Amino acid sequence: MRSIRRAIRDPMQKESLTRQTIPAQRRMLRLQMLRIQRRPG
């Protein structure tokens, strides 16, 4: 159990999790930008 907790606290795994979430955030930002550009005026 202790080894599992250490693995979860490992900063490397945290970085991998953030790397996976960054592309999703970029997609959301792109969609928002497209919506703003499509609006007239």
Per-domain boundaries in the chain: 2-38
- pLDDT tens column, 1-41: 566 566 556 666 667 666 667 788 888 889 888 887 877 66
Distance CA 3, CA 19 (A): 24
Cβ contacts of 7 within 8 Å, gap of 6 or more: 13
Reduced to 3 states (helix: H, G, I; strand: E, B; else coil), residue 27 is helix
pTM of the model as a whole: 0.41
Distance CA 19, CA 7 (A): 17
